[in-house]
Structure 1
Amino acid sequence: MTEDVRAGAHEGGLRRADLRRGWGRFVDVLIQLVRWFGLVCAALLAIHVILTIGSANPDNGITQFVTSVADPLALGFQDLFTPEDPQLAVLLNYGIAAIFWLFITSIATKILAAVR
């Protein structure tokens, strides 16, 4: 009976270690997903700024796609500043939104790393 108790304790210890490893891997993958998501959001906003400042053809499919994706990603920053120059407005507002995404995902990854 003593051997059964030791074997059970050993298996329980292994299970806990396996769970910890599994949880750590899960959180690591989640951290990477959050980083990539924030980077993609910021990149799309930056591309929108570049296309706007570069006077890209608004009828082009790529420009339309980036604009349609960038608007919801701006999270209310679209009209934060209202200078007379519309290109400056896009640079300021969508640029700040891109920085915001990088900042928020940085904080989120630090919180996730602490939970690990």
Structure 2
Amino acid sequence: MSGIARIVRLLAHVAAAILVIWILLFLFDADRANDVVHWFQRAADWLATWSRNLFSIDNAKLRTTVNYGIAAVVYLFVGSLVTRVSRRD
């Protein structure tokens, strides 16, 4: 695997981890005034800019899980795809 593919895979995994951590913090009602929680919220909002309002679900916890979860899955898929393509070359 090339060095660039490894970097892309690592970044995809980090992005997905940030999104999953934010989902868990939100589900467990973490204090958003906390600096660490606030950082994860801002990072996840930025990473999921394109998907955070994808579905309008009344339940806030389900909406957050679905919309941010979709972003996490897409990041993992893209990272995996880049890795596979680079192995063929």
Q: Is the shorter-chain TM-score for this pair beyond 0.5, marking a shared fold?
A: yes
Superposed CA deviations along residues 35-60 of structure 1, whole A, max 9, x for unmatched, are 11100000000001000000000100
Deviation at 1:86, TM superposition (A): 0.9
Secondary structure of 2:80's aligned partner? helix
* Structure of higher CA gyration radius: 1
In the alignment, which residue of structure 1 is the partner of 2:74? 100
Aligned residues: 89
Report the CA distance between 1:82 and its aligned residue. 1.2
Higher relative contact order (CA 8 A, sep 6+): 2
Gaps of 5+ in 1: 1-26
Distance 1:112 1:28 in 2: 7
Deviations 1:48-104 (A, max 9, x none): 100000000010001110011111111411011111111111000001110010001
Match of 1:76 in 2: 50
| Higher percent of residues as helix | 1
TM-score normalised to structure 1 length? 0.72
RMSD: 1.2
Tell me the percent identity: 30
Runs of 4+ more than 6 Å apart: none
